[in-house]
Amino acid sequence: MGLEAARARLFDCLRHEIRDKRVLSAMARVPRERFVSPDHYYAAYEDMPLSIGFGQTISQPFIVALMTQALGLKGGEKVLELGTGSGYQTAILAELAKWIVSIERIPQLAESAMRVLKELGYKNFAIHTSSEALGWPAGAPYDGIIVTAGAPSVPDVLLEQLVLGGRLVIPVGSRWEQDLLKVTKRKRKHLVKSLGGCRFVPLIGLGAWEES
């Protein structure tokens, strides 16, 4: 199957699962093939994660769409992304929000993502190489935070970087399997909703997993 046919099939499937038309339109504008390795070029529109090297992956398109939809973006938000990876999720967020701060702990991936995003014309983002501390407090508060790696629990340090009413979307569970959570920040008890099971690489840092 050619790339265009695979792309059409993928979006036919996503339209049955994803309600937010802004998310679907943004994903349709982002060429996923630009964010995968040449070895995986013809699998760019299969609904599956793909290796991008360094033990990392570009997430399954359905999961990307589901997580992005959960943020409820309208266009004027500042969003923090933990785990730039290939930059694919960053591009979709840049289509939907005003400003994106993206954090990546692997310098080679940060550099590659920066190059592709700039080549595609995106300007409303910044990529930083992470330290052990989670997030990017210097840019806080954020209207939304999206975490593309699994944590053992919801990190308080990320909730502290959210505005009241802001949304944190994060996989929580073991190193191998997680539950995708949408956490809406409240003054007293935060609102937590499960979006289903998922599998992400571990989130490394203080308040998450130690590097093995």
- Residue for token pair 């760019």: 44
pTM over 0.85: yes
Q: Which of 164, 131, 161 is nearest to 146 (CA)?
A: 161
Across the range 39-67, mean pLDDT stands at 93
86 catalytically annotated: no
Written as one string, the DSSP assignment of 135-187 is S-GGG--EEEEEE-SBBSS--HHHHTTEEEEEEEEEEEE-SS-EEEEEEE--S
Mean pLDDT of all residues in the chain? 94
Which member of 59, 86, 112, 130 is catalytic?
A: 59
Q: Residue 1: pLDDT band by 50, 70, 90 thresholds? A: low
pLDDT at 109 > cutoff 90: yes
How many helices and strands, by DSSP H and E, does the chain display?
6, 9
The HSE-up count of residue 100 (CA atoms within 13 Å, CB side) is: 31
Structural tokens at position 40: 């995986």
Give the Cα separation of 143 and 74 in Å (integer). 11
* Three-class DSSP category at 112: helix
To which H or E segment does residue 21 belong? helix 21-29
Domain ranges for the chain, please list them: 61-198
From the candidate CATH numbers 1.10.645.10, 1.10.150.120, 3.40.50.150, 3.30.420.40, the one assigned to the domain spanning 61-198: 3.40.50.150
What CA–CA distance (Å, rounded) separates 103 from 108? 13
Average pLDDT for residues 30-55, to the nearest whole number?
A: 93
The confidence score (pLDDT) of residue 12 equals 95
Give the total residue count for the chain.
212
**Distance in angstroms (rounded) separating the CA atoms of residues 41 and 21:** 26
